[in-house]
């Protein structure tokens, strides 16, 4: 009997906490975005700067996902299938972006490619702009999501071991064949999970992108930066309307994440 009381209290605390901290903000975005009516909402959403920002966000997100998936697979392969010196160190290095403040992530690219950066003269000579331009935004997005895919695959590959790959290799299979026929089936859900997390973080990245963007409306504004700009101009309902796009994307990602996690667990059993 006493156990039940504890159970109910703990469940109530949990639900209350989640409601106040997470659910109310989620609902608030939708309500705030509609407070000036549907028409105003539509105008904010179909504003040409919003569309431009959405396009840039998608470009940065897709770039980050492609590059980090490519890197993540190779990094996970090397870390889990081979033993070599400095492996532990390599793992730590890959995780660095995870532990770094986004603002610092932006700063380091300024230091390399900015006016005082050591790559600046070289870039000038070939007329390449990175800082305060689209490439900077893409780079910053790749940086902050760098370890996301590899972090999800490595534990699964570690648990699987390397017997199957070794067996296939001894039978003469090529690396590509081993990967697609043996490794990929094991990691597909983890890989998908990593890609989903990477997408979520990439589309929402604010701090690092903010440092490198220069806030040129219609040129270097991503959706989160566009939201900030609208907010600072006191166009609150427009800011929330644009936010609602990201919220919907976030909710879709959460649902996908839950499905993929469930499938992955089932496959792992």
Partner 1 sequence: MKININKRQKTMIKKRVIPGFGISIGITITFLTLIVLIPISSIAIYVSGISLNEFIEIITDKQVVSGYKVSFFCALIAALINAIFGTILAWVLVRYEFIGKRVLDGLIELPFALPTAVAGITLTSLYSDKGWIGSIFAEAGIQIAYTKIGIIIAMIFIGIPFVVRSIQPVLEKMDTQYEEAATMLGANGHRIFFKVILPEIFPAMLTGFGLALARGIGEYGSVVFIAGNMPYKTQIAPLLIMTKLEQFKYADATAIALVMLVASFIILLLINMIQSYVNKITNN
Binding residues among 164-223 for partner 1 as defined by CB under 8 A: 165-166, 169-170, 174-175, 178-179, 197, 200-201, 203-207, 210-211, 223
- Other Cβ atoms less than 10 A from the Cβ of 119: the count is 14
Q: How far is the CB of 142 from partner 1 (least distance, A)?
A: 6
Q: Please tell me whether residue 2 binds partner 1 under the rule CB under 8 A.
A: yes
Place of tokens 């390397």: 162
Distances (CA, A) of 91 to 72, 78, 101: 11, 10, 19
Q: Whole-angstrom Cα distance, residue 222 to residue 29?
A: 19
Q: How far is the CB of 204 from partner 1 (least distance, A)?
A: 3
Sole window of 38-46, 47-55, 66-74, 184-192 interacting with partner 1 (rule: CB under 8 A): 66-74
- Other Cβ atoms less than 10 A from the Cβ of 180: the count is 12
Q: Please tell me whether residue 13 binds partner 1 under the rule CB under 8 A.
A: yes
Selected binder of partner 1 within 159, 184, 216, 255 (CB under 8 A): 255
Q: Please tell me whether residue 231 binds partner 1 under the rule CB under 8 A.
A: yes
The candidate with the shortest Cα–Cα distance to 34, out of 217, 243, 197, is 243
- Other Cβ atoms less than 10 A from the Cβ of 61: the count is 24
Pick out residues in 34-63 that bind partner 1 (CB under 8 A). Answer: none
Contact present, 68 and 142 (Cβ < 8 Å): yes
Selected binder of partner 1 within 44, 54, 142, 192 (CB under 8 A): 142
Which residue, 195 or 227, has its beta carbon nearer to partner 1?
Answer: 227
Which residue, 188 or 257, has its beta carbon nearer to partner 1?
Answer: 257
SS3 track for 15-61: HHHHHHHHHHHHHHHHHHHCCCHHHHHHHHHHCHHHHHHHHHHHHHH
Q: Whole-angstrom Cα distance, residue 35 to residue 5?
A: 41
Which residue, 24 or 51, has its beta carbon nearer to partner 1?
Answer: 24
Sole window of 42-50, 122-130, 160-168, 185-193 interacting with partner 1 (rule: CB under 8 A): 160-168
- Other Cβ atoms less than 10 A from the Cβ of 107: the count is 17
Q: How far is the CB of 39 from partner 1 (least distance, A)?
A: 21
Selected binder of partner 1 within 53, 54, 56, 75 (CB under 8 A): 75
Q: How far is the CB of 110 from partner 1 (least distance, A)?
A: 7
The C-alpha R_g of the chain, in whole angstroms, comes to 22
Q: Please tell me whether residue 257 binds partner 1 under the rule CB under 8 A.
A: yes
Q: How far is the CB of 169 from partner 1 (least distance, A)?
A: 5
Q: Please tell me whether residue 67 binds partner 1 under the rule CB under 8 A.
A: yes
Q: How far is the CB of 88 from partner 1 (least distance, A)?
A: 12
Q: Please tell me whether residue 112 binds partner 1 under the rule CB under 8 A.
A: yes
């Amino acid at each position: 009997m006493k156990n039940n009381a504890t159970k109910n209290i703990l469940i109530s605390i949990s639900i209350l906490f989640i409601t106040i901290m997470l659910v109310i903000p989620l609902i608030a975005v939708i309500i705030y975005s509609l407070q000036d009516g549907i028409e105003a909402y539509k105008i904010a959403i179909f504003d040409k700067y919003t569309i431009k920002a959405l396009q840039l966000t998608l470009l940065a997100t897709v770039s980050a996902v492609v590059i980090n998936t490519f890197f993540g697979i190779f990094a996970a392969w090397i870390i889990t299938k081979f033993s070599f010196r400095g492996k532990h160190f390599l793992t730590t290095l890959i995780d660095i972006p995870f532990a770094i403040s986004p603002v610092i992530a932006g700063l380091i690219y300024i230091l390399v490619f900015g006016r005082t950066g050591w790559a600046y003269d070289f870039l000038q000579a070939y007329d390449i702009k990175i800082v305060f331009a689209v490439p900077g935004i893409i780079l910053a997005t790749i940086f902050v999501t760098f370890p996301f895919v590899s972090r999800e695959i490595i534990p699964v590959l570690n648990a699987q071991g390397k017997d199957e790959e070794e067996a296939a290799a001894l039978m003469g299979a090529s690396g590509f064949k081993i990967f697609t026929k043996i490794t990929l089936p094991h990691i597909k859900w983890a890989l998908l999970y990593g890609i989903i997390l990477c997408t979520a973080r990439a589309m929402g990245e604010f701090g690092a992108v903010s440092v490198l963007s220069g806030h040129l409306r219609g040129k270097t504004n991503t959706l989160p930066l566009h939201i900030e700009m609208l907010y600072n101009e006191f166009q609150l309902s427009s800011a929330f309307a644009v936010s609602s796009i990201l919220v919907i994307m976030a909710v879709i990602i959460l649902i996908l994440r839950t499905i993929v996690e469930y499938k992955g667990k089932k496959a792992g059993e």
